[in-house]
Amino acid sequence: MSDQAFYSGLQTKLEALRDDGLFKPERVLASRQGAQVIAQDGRTLINMCANNYLGLSGDPETQKAAAAALEKYGYGLSSVRFICGTQTVHKELEARLSTFLGTEDTILYAAAFDANGGLFEPLFDENDAIISDALNHASIIDGVRLCKAARYRYANNDMADLEQQLIAAVDAGKRHKIIVTDGVFSMDGTIAQLDKIVELAQKYGALTMIDESHASGFMGATGRGTHEHCGVIGKIDIITGTLGKALGGAMGGFTSGRKEVIETLRQKSRPYLFSNTLAPMIAGASLAVLDRISASTALRDRLMDNTAYFRQEIERIGFTIKPGTHPVVPVMLFDAPVAQKFAARMFELGVLLSGFFYPVVPMGQARVRVQLSAAHTREQLDTVLAAFEQAGRELGILKNT
């Protein structure tokens, strides 16, 4: 406590964040997660900013499955996996995820952040090349930083640039090359062009890795993910993802792929070796979620119906959105102060959503991001659309008025 300058330095930096409008206040919920939530002040809000794509976070069936696993396996393990932290439920979940994703084997982590953070260093060294999309998730960027492989970056979703970077890696004589991309980019709802990526990988002898955090459980006809959506199941070398979004929403992550890869990660991946095992109730609930979405596509179908409806109606009202099909819908307001005012007004109108401004998104690309859920009723979506129309009219930002 003797270095006062340290603390006042932090204070100054925090004030600068506030002054720049970059400070992130936390919204406190007084209810469980869902299409509707109760704020701390007791107000009921329609929630349009959770990653609760299938509506399973606050769902009673998910809760029951977690409770059953809690009863059978207890609260926790107080151990890493390899000492005494592996239960049958963890092995079952790993096997079920492999079946679901169409891979050979799967390893669980405490979070997708850990899955990505611990992926590259055990598998690649200075002789290798990692060719990474510029908009990849922070955890991929950190994981790549921890690894000695040469780094090549290609412009977001730009296949011509990806090919240039592959050529550069080949010219540099790199041994193994791996193309690394989010399956879906969460700021824009952009879907990676995995069919083209797989083609380029074959052409240049590269491996492929996708992070399916915004895809597992609902992208593709049966919810397998972006690789199903793009018709390349079985052609992606490594898949990482989270249990903390569509697949139940608690926490937990995974890496899935060939046996040799997964076995190597079990032996060498540091967030796996030196961190506690996933709580058994999460593993049990995740199994139940996978059972449920494998038995029926009803939830992902409802999510996609809601998405198509919202995308169509929001444009009809006169808003500009980034085109696409993903339940992440960026409603473009372009100007940062307008986006801020807009998000605040929507909050007053009972809609919870988040605004994004530079530097989180490029300058002049300010927006509010809507995320649809299977749990949203048509009535709730109509209420949200009416609030959009009202706020849009008040702020004079509708195209056709």
Ligand X SMILES: *Cc1c(COP(=O)(O)O)cnc(C)c1O
Which window, 18-26, 94-102, 111-119, 309-317, contacts ligand X (CB under 6 A)?
Answer: 111-119
Q: How far apart are CA 348 and CA 345, in angstroms?
A: 5
Residue 190 found at the interface with ligand X (CB under 6 A): no
Residue placing its CB nearer to ligand X in the complex, 137 or 311: 137
DSSP letter at 55? Answer: S
Query: What is the nearest approach in angstroms of ligand X to the Cβ of residue 281?
Result: 16
- Kindly tell me which residue out of 81, 90, 96, 137 binds ligand X, with binding defined by CB under 6 A: 137
44-47 and 351-352: which strand pairing? Answer: parallel
- Kindly tell me which residue out of 113, 154, 254, 319 binds ligand X, with binding defined by CB under 6 A: 113
- Contact partners, residue 312, CB within 8 Å, separation at least 6: none
Residue 108 found at the interface with ligand X (CB under 6 A): no
Write out the H or E segment, with its range, that includes residue 334: strand 328-334
Burial 240-262 (b: 16+ CB within 10 A, else e): bbbbbbbbbbbbbbbbbbeeebb
Pattern 206-245, ligand X, x by CB under 6 A:
-----x-xx---------------------------x-x-
Residue placing its CB nearer to ligand X in the complex, 243 or 293: 243
- Contact partners, residue 89, CB within 8 Å, separation at least 6: 69, 72, 73, 280, 283, 284, 287
Which window, 95-103, 106-114, 280-288, 341-349, contacts ligand X (CB under 6 A)?
Answer: 106-114
Measured in whole angstroms, how far is the alpha carbon of residue 132 from the centre of its chain?
A: 17
Q: How far apart are CA 333 and CA 335, in angstroms?
A: 6
Residue 214 is a catalytic residue = yes
Count of positions on this chain that bind ligand X (CB under 6 A): 14
Residue placing its CB nearer to ligand X in the complex, 129 or 247: 247
- Taking CA atoms, 381 is separated from 6, 9, 40, 77, 303, in Å, by 48, 45, 23, 42, 12
Find out whether 156 and 181 touch, Cβ atoms under 8 Å: no
Residue 188 found at the interface with ligand X (CB under 6 A): no
Query: What is the nearest approach in angstroms of ligand X to the Cβ of residue 345?
Result: 28
Q: How far apart are CA 169 and CA 204, in angstroms?
A: 10
- Kindly tell me which residue out of 62, 186, 216, 286 binds ligand X, with binding defined by CB under 6 A: 186
Residue 322 is a catalytic residue = no
Nearest Cα neighbor of 282 from 108, 117, 139 is: 108
Residue 249 found at the interface with ligand X (CB under 6 A): no
Residue 57 found at the interface with ligand X (CB under 6 A): no
Which window, 17-25, 112-120, 220-228, 277-285, contacts ligand X (CB under 6 A)?
Answer: 112-120
Residue 13 is a catalytic residue = no
Structure tokens at 35: 């299409």
Among residues 137, 214, 227, 322, which one is catalytic?
Answer: 214
- Kindly tell me which residue out of 220, 253, 257, 284 binds ligand X, with binding defined by CB under 6 A: 253
- Kindly tell me which residue out of 128, 182, 188, 228 binds ligand X, with binding defined by CB under 6 A: 182
Query: What is the nearest approach in angstroms of ligand X to the Cβ of residue 15?
Result: 29
Q: How far apart are CA 33 and CA 123, in angstroms?
A: 37
Residue 272 found at the interface with ligand X (CB under 6 A): no
Q: How far apart are CA 269 and CA 291, in angstroms?
A: 29
Q: How far apart are CA 289 and CA 301, in angstroms?
A: 15
Among residues 57, 98, 132, 186, which one is catalytic?
Answer: 186
Which residue ranges make up the site for ligand X (CB under 6 A)?
Answer: 111-113, 116, 137, 139, 182, 186, 211, 213-214, 242, 244, 253
Q: Which residues are catalytic?
A: 186, 214, 245
